């Protein structure tokens, strides 16, 4: 238990962030080995029901959750340690996933570190009540998180008509092309929202949309949407959490960045109670065109986009970020552990691609098993 607490942040705040990262890396490796042994002993759960099956609680997506199935509770939420706050007794659990939050955090020498202000902007209101309405609303079901790689053009999206789906960023191109719309929609990237603001404002096909609170002023009076607190510590070089994956089990508190919007969708799916999560269209392969204008991690396209399902996705004149797939992989590995801790699982149903973090399954077999 102490080892779990210690690796989050030393009681004395070291001057060297490099020291923190080295210390965290060593401890995470040790803890990960223990966790994987626990997972092997615990074994995998059964097949999850689909979204078309009934729900006891009912939710805004129009389907309902099946009683039982996925466990609820608080997963790895290190900010409860960083801020010196403990988790409420009602949220504590005895699984390995909740070991960190199960014990009140010790008081720290720095009760509210200055770097925390760089990680998240609490001056903008978030929709706490709306977000809490999604807690376990799909308990025990399965869902599909849709990436926007070229392989998405090989997928028969009509098969997802009766499934719960998460779409991101420029998925509206598929809606315009063939009428497909996800159940839920999220944007994280500032370039995406600025370059497609009018499209996003009028993209009302999804049943509900999720946006970081810092975009609230850009999307005034938008219907069927919830604004959440986005923690950017993963991107902030001055933070001890720089490039350190964290996972929120309570989206009404905050959602953590992890180099890709799909990582934030994992946190949404966990909070909603999904038992099995399937990725499609996540090719995990990017090529930066030689003609592109590269300024640090910011890239401006001068031609059609070769990395997504539509040539205009990050087409001529649009800006995007260097995907840094090594950092994406780090977040994916952590999300994989969190789900397995809780007896759930993430699968890769992408047709082809380079992603091998999650167990692969054939997309079509999920619908034609009988």
pLDDT digit string (tens) for 119-142?
888 889 999 999 999 999 999 999
- Whether 303 is covered by a domain: the verdict is no
Q: Please write the tens of the pLDDT for every residue from 247-287.
A: 999 999 999 999 999 999 999 999 999 999 999 999 998 77
Contacts of 122 (CB under 8 A, 6+ apart): 229
The reply to whether 314 falls in a domain is no
Phi/psi-derived region of residue 136, left when phi > 0, alpha when psi is between -120 and 50, beta in every other case: left
For the segment 64-77, the average pLDDT, to the nearest whole number, is 37
74: pLDDT confidence band, cut at 50, 70 and 90? very low
- Gap between the Cα atoms of 358 and 335, Å rounded: 10
The CA distances from residue 209 to 55, 121, 128, 164, 346, in Å, are 21, 20, 14, 13, 22
What pLDDT does residue 75 have?
A: 40
Considering the domain boundaries, does residue 164 fall inside one? Answer: yes
Distance (Å) of CA 263 to CA 220, 269, 367: 26, 10, 25
Residue 45 vs residues 36, 42, 134, 185, 275: alpha-carbon distances, Å: 15, 9, 23, 28, 9
**Tokens encoding 185:** 């929609």
What is the tens place of the pLDDT at every residue in 26-49?
A: 766 777 777 777 777 766 554 555
More confident call, 262 vs 301:
262
Least confident of 13-17, 92-96, 327-331: 92-96
Q: What confidence score (pLDDT) does residue 82 get?
A: 30
Contacts of 370 (CB under 8 A, 6+ apart): none
Nearest to 341 by CA among 23, 49, 71: 71
**Sign, Cα dihedral of 208, 212, 213, 215:** negative
| pLDDT for 344 | 98
pLDDT, mean of residues 286-308: 79
Instruction: Give the model's pLDDT for residue 369.
Output: 60
pLDDT digits (tens, 9 = 90+) for 148-169: 999 999 999 999 999 999 999 9
Q: Is residue 302 part of a domain?
A: no
Average pLDDT on 10-39 reads: 63
What per-residue string of b and e applies to 119-155 under the rule 16 or more CB within 10 Å gives b? bbeeeeebbeebbeebbbbbbbbbbbbbbbbbbbeeb
- The pLDDT score that the predictor gives to residue 353 is 95
Residue 166 inside a domain? The answer is yes
| The pTM of the whole model exceeds 0.85 | no
SS3 content of the chain, % helix, strand, coil (to 5): 30, 10, 55
Per-residue pLDDT at 92: 36
Phi and psi at 268, nearest 5°, equal -60, -50
b (16+ CB within 10 A) / e for 339-350: bbbbbbbbbbbb
312 part of a folded domain: no
pLDDT at 99: 36
Q: In the predicted model, is pLDDT for residue 61 greater than 90?
A: no
At 21 the pLDDT is 63
Rounded to whole angstroms, the Cα distance separating 185 from 11 reads 39
pLDDT score recorded for residue 232: 94
Helix ranges (DSSP H) in 120-240: 128-132, 172-178, 190-195, 197-201
pLDDT at position 367 is 95
Please give the radius of gyration of the chain, using alpha carbons only, rounded to the nearest integer.
Answer: 20
Query: What does pLDDT average to over the chain?
Result: 78
The confidence band for 213, taking pLDDT boundaries of 50, 70 and 90, is very high
In a domain, 271, yes or no: yes
Stronger pLDDT, 82 or 321, i.e. the higher one: 321
Domain limits for position 181: 2-286+323-366
d(CA 98, CA 102): 6
Higher pLDDT, 89 or 180: 180
In this predicted structure, what is the pLDDT of residue 122? 86
Q: Please report whether residue 195 resides in a domain.
A: yes
Strands (E), the chain: 142-146, 164-168, 184-186, 208-212, 225-228, 230-231, 255-256, 276-280, 293-295, 298-300, 319-321, 345-348, 359-360
Number of domains in the chain: 1
- Rounded-to-10 torsion of CA 370, 270, 218, 308: -50
């Amino acid at each position: 238990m102490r080892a779990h607490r210690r690796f989050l942040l030393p009681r004395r705040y070291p001057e060297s962030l490099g020291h923190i990262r080295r210390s965290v890396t060593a401890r995470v490796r040790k803890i990960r080995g223990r966790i994987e042994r626990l997972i092997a002993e615990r074994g995998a759960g059964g097949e999850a029901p689909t979204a078309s099956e009934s729900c006891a609680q009912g939710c805004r997506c129009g389907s309902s959750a099946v009683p039982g199935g996925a466990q609820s509770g608080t997963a790895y939420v290190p900010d409860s340690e960083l801020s010196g706050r403990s988790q409420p007794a009602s949220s504590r659990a005895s699984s390995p996933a909740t070991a960190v939050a199960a014990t009140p955090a010790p008081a720290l020498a720095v009760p509210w570190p200055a770097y925390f202000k760089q990680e998240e902007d609490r001056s903008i209101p978030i929709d706490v009540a709306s977000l809490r309405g999604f807690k376990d609303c799909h308990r025990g079901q399965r869902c599909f998180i849709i990436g926007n790689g070229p392989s998405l053009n090989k997928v028969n999206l009509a098969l997802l008509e009766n499934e719960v789906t998460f779409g991101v960023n420029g998925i509206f191109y598929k809606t315009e092309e063939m009428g497909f719309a996800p159940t839920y929609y999220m944007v994280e990237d500032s370039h995406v929202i600025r370059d497609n603001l009018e499209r996003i404002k009028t993209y009302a096909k999804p049943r509900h949309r999720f946006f970081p609170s810092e975009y609230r002023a850009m999307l005034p009076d938008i219907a069927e949407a919830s604004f959440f607190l986005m923690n950017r510590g993963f991107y902030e070089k001055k933070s001890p959490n720089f490039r350190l994956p964290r996972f929120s089990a309570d989206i009404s508190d905050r959602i953590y960045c992890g180099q890709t919007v799909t990582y934030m969708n994992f946190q949404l799916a966990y909070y909603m109670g999904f038992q099995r999560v399937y990725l499609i269209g996540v090719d995990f392969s990017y090529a930066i065109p030689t003609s592109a204008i590269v300024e640090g991690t910011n890239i401006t396209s001068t031609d059609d986009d070769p990395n997504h399902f539509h040539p205009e996705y990050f087409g001529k004149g649009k800006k995007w970020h260097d995907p840094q797939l090594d950092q994406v992989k780090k977040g994916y590995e952590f999300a994989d552990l969190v789900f397995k801790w809780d007896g759930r699982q993430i699968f890769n149903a992408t047709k082809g691609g380079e992603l091998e973090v999650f167990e692969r399954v054939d997309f079509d077999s999920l619908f034609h098993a009988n």
